[in-house]
Amino acid sequence: MVQTAAEALALVGLPDVSRETLDRLAAFVALLEKWQGRTNLVAASTLGDVWRRHVADSAQLVSLFPEAQNWLDLGSGAGFPGLVIAIIRAERRGHVDLVESDGRKAAFLRQAIFTTSVPATVHQERVEALTSTWKTPADIVTARALAPLARLLEYTAPVVAHGVRAAFPKGREYQREIDEASKSWDFDLVKHKSKVEDDAVILEITRLEAK
């Protein structure tokens, strides 16, 4: 079992990070565990494997897209992947915008940003309302465990239309979601095999048009 920040990052090909980054990740996970008792941030069954199931799974996006500086994370929830990305990139240029409509989760994200001192901003809005008018430059838009792919494409179409790529971690049912989304959308897709789960992928979208 992955039990530390260093092990989580090594698992996804990010072994050479600073002690400050590892400390920030540890502080973030400690805060998550503290808040979990009063706010359902992650499934209770996954908390015991948080470093692999959530931290490593989020961190692999930085490993996949190391050139991305400005990230837009939709439905950020407990900070996966957005807060993990912000922590890893805190000593580099860039910024992460976190979109979360739930007031309790947004409050947790703000506290996590304060605790870890990372370059991130929380937007307490509905995803579809924010993306329809989003103007801030972004290199990549992400969403993890937010919605089926067809709905994610609907949410992100206004952003991807400006040349922003999208990256969506998906589990074992990803092909069914691709087939369903293809009925309404035409898109360029690259499937990246997950470094954390054998039957999972990260779907990279670089062009998107409604049919």
- Beta bridge mates, 9: none
CATH number for the region 5-210 comes to 3.40.50.150
Q: Which among 72, 83, 210, 181 has a CA at the least distance from the CA of 130?
A: 72
- Beta bridge mates, 187: 208
CB 110 within 8 A of CB 96: no
- pTM for this one? 0.95
- Beta bridge mates, 167: 142, 204
DSSP state of 179: H
- In this prediction, residue 144 carries a pLDDT of 96
Question: Which tokens sit at 10?
Answer: 């090594």
For the chain, the structural domain boundaries read 5-210
- In this prediction, residue 67 carries a pLDDT of 94
**Cα–Cα dist 24/30, whole Å:** 10
Element (H, E) at 130: helix 127-131
Q: What is the pLDDT along the chain (211 residues), one digit of tens a residue?
A: 889 999 999 999 998 899 999 999 999 999 999 999 888 888 887 878 899 999 999 999 999 999 999 999 999 999 999 999 999 999 888 899 999 999 999 999 999 999 999 999 999 999 999 999 999 999 999 999 999 999 999 999 999 998 999 999 999 999 999 999 999 999 999 999 999 999 999 999 999 999 9
